[in-house]
């Protein structure tokens, strides 16, 4: 199962909790990429550019999904920007879009200096721009959407687990 959504929506945090609840493995594509490139993603963006990062990101996603990964996979917020990534995601068992409003995200991320696309003078404006472009792409590949709003991490993990169980009970592969 794959988690998608804007930066800061909780993919990694909720993903870890969900993996524990489901008694399965957890992986984060950004952590795998960081290990491979040997530096923080922000530094890589500055040195190599976003397009080079997106190429590596695609390879990592394809390795997980083509390899039949069975755990919870958190992805980077921009994973949906490439057509080939969206096609990979459409083939995944379950894709959960953790939807968060730009206003909620700016509150969560106000002290975060590690996200390269948010290191701008007006992060709220940037998050609104990202949301406008990415929300339709997330929706296009999502099996279901969970609004992150105010629920706790454990509540979000429980909501997702319940949805997965309902899908399985209704005969849809998870």
> Given phi > 0 = left and psi -120 to 50 = alpha, else beta, which region is 23?
left
Q: Is 77 annotated as a binding residue?
A: yes
**Is 42 within any annotated ligand binding site?**
no
What tokens appear for 48 in the block?
Answer: 């190599």
Does 30 appear as a known binding residue? yes
Give every CB contact of residue 166 below 8 A, 6+ residues apart in sequence: none
Query: Is 54 marked within a binding site?
Result: yes
**172 is known to lie in a ligand binding site:** no
Whether the Cβ atoms of residue 78 and residue 117 lie closer than 8 Å to each other: yes
How far CA 90 is from CA of 143, 144, 163, in Å, comes to: 9, 12, 18
As a whole number of angstroms, the distance between CA 38 and CA 48 comes to 13
Annotated ligand binding at 115? The verdict is: yes
36 is an annotated ligand-binding site residue: no
Q: Does 113 carry a binding-site annotation? A: no
Spatial contact of 100 and 6, defined as CB atoms under 8 Å apart: yes
User: Is 13 annotated in some ligand binding site?
Assistant: yes
Question: Which residues are annotated as part of the binding site for Mg(2+)?
Answer: 12
Binding residues for ATP: 8-13, 115
Binding residues: 8-13, 30, 54, 77, 115, 134
Residues making up the binding site for substrate? 30, 54, 77, 134
């Amino acid at each position: 199962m794959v988690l998608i959504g804007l930066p800061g929506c909780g993919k990694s945090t909720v993903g870890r909790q969900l993996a524990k609840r489901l008694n399965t493995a957890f992986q984060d594509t950004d952590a795998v990429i960081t290990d491979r490139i040997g530096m923080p993603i922000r530094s890589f963006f500055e040195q190599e550019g976003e397009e080079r990062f997106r190429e590596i990101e695609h390879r990592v996603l394809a390795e997980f999904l083509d390899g039949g990964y069975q755990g919870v996979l958190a992805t980077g917020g921009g994973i949906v920007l490439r057509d080939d990534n969206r096609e990979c995601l459409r083939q995944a068992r379950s894709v959960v879009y953790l939807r968060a409003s730009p206003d909620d995200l700016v509150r969560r991320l106000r002290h975060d200096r590690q996200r390269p696309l948010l290191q701008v003078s007006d992060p709220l404006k940037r998050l609104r721009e990202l949301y406008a472009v990415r929300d339709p792409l997330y929706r296009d590949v999502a099996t279901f959407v969970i609004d992150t709003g105010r629920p706790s991490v454990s509540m979000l993990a429980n909501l997702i687990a319940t949805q997965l169980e309902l899908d399985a009970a209704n005969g849809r592969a998870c």
